[in-house]
Amino acid sequence: MDTAAGYAAMLELVMGLPEQLAEAGTRCLPAGIPGRRGWSTVVVVGMGGSAISGDIARSLMLDSCAVPVISCRDYDIPAAVTKRTLLVALSYSGNTEETLSAYRQAVGTGCRRVVVTSGGELARLARAEHDPVIAVPSGIPPRAALGYLLGSLLPVLEHAGLGEFRGQLDEAVGLLAARRDAWRRRAVTLAARLVDRLPLVLSTSRLLDCAADRWRCQLNENAKVICHTSRLPEHNHNEVVGMGRPAELAQRTVIIGLLERETHPRTSLRLRHVLAIARDGYEQAVRLRAEGRSPLARVLSLSMLGDLVSVELARLTGVDPMPVRRIDKLKRRLARARRE
Ligand code: F6R
């Protein structure tokens, strides 16, 4: 695939987020998905483009559900996993070694497990364990399957009595479909400001922490650039001191402040002060506000805008957004090292 074809393919995938969410949301859950019970914890296991769905679900539940949600991005599951844990393993490919390792450990704990994947070893293992498997369509890059993965995860959590997401999903689908063309035009302008610059994405709420992370991962993998993220108010207790240095870097840094209606008024004020400090020495700053009513619509509105910026930045810099050769190479090298 050449660069132009890669751009067209990734743009189509990114623009198709509402359709993916809608499609995933209308599928029936497989038999065996656990129902409401006295859960002690929810653990979402996954890496990279699969893990972000768990982060979004976690941030939705932080404010609405008494059961703590732990995101596990590693080989080992946390000690909090017990028989009263619902563990969801998310791996688009089904072949990610950290996720496979964590899933294998989970089997030994007797926790309730659900797998979301397009196939691979994870699907095979889960079927052997008689765990429910939600199969998502295969053949696209994992990071471009956000709608399938998140749209599968939320109904599982709802079925388990851990939240009500149906209405939020419907609102998000409608909003993203209605606003995507305008966001794309906005993304073209924003991407032009990021050429040869370091993006610094500042989130101002727990919900937007995931949107900021999604911006970073999509800028890394689609546009093939480094991106830094930071969180307010925490930023004001450490990173603020280092702002502006090294000066050469600050001069080439564009600050992107993400805001939403639940941003605490004091945090909003903090962002204003941070941007005032940045007027001295930083390249420039922009403030972006989430759209939508529900938390899901709000977090996805800024995530989709970030996805579009990453694809437009790839186009402007002549980069093919589709391949992630370094990730593939690392996975191959690690697989070889296991066989040796
Ligand atoms: C590639 C991507 C990666 C993968 C990660 C884990 O598009 O986004 O971050 O998501 O390497 O692989 P999966 O998702 O297949 O478990």
Each residue's pLDDT tens digit, 43-90: 999 999 999 999 999 999 999 999 999 999 999 999 999 999 999 999
Measured in Å, residue 146 CA sits from the centre of ligand 1 at: 11
**Residue 92 Cβ contacting ligand 1 at under 6 Å:** yes
- For the question of residue 221 being annotated catalytic, the response is yes
Contacts of 166 (CB under 8 A, 6+ apart): 25, 155, 158
- Catalytic option among 83, 130, 237, 340: 237
What's the token pair of residue 79?
């000690």
First to last CA, the chain: 33
- In CATH, what number is assigned to the domain containing residue 131? 3.40.50.10490
User: Catalytic: 228?
Assistant: no
Same domain? For 194 and 311 the reply is yes
* Per-residue pLDDT at 340: 66
Q: How far is the CA of 124 from the centre of ligand 1 (A)?
A: 18
Phi, psi of 25, rounded to the nearest 5 degrees: -70, -20
Do residue 142 and residue 67 come from a single domain?
yes
246 preceded by cis ω (within 30°)?
yes
Residue 134 has pLDDT above 70, yes or no: yes
Task: Indicate if 203 and 112 belong to the same structural domain.
Answer: no
pLDDT digits (tens, 9 = 90+) for 278-304: 888 887 899 999 999 999 999 999 999
Ligand 1: which of 71, 93, 95, 125 to mutate, most ligand atoms within 8 Å of CB? 93
What's the confidence (pLDDT) of residue 267? Answer: 98
Is 1 a domain residue? no
What pLDDT is recorded for position 283? Answer: 78
- What percentage of the chain exceeds 70 in pLDDT? 100
The question of whether 237 is a catalytic residue gets the answer yes
Does residue 120 sit in helix, strand or coil? helix
pLDDT of residue 281: 83
For residues 102 and 211, membership in a common domain is answered with no
Identify whether residues 105 and 228 lie together within a single domain.
Answer: no
Give 3-state DSSP helix, strand, coil % of the chain, rounded to 5: 55, 15, 30
Residues 59 and 206 sit within 8 Å (Cβ to Cβ): yes
pLDDT for the residue 80: 97
Across the range 220-243, mean pLDDT stands at: 97
- Tell me: do 108 and 195 sit in the same domain: no
Q: Are residues 309 and 225 in the same domain?
A: yes
What's the structural domain count of the chain? 2
Angle at 186 between CA 184 and CA 192, to 5 degrees: 105
In-domain check, residue 8: no
Domain end (from 99, 129, 164) = 164
| Residue range(s) defining the domain that contains residue 279 | 179-316
- 23 domain-assigned: no
| pLDDT over threshold 80, residue 114 | yes
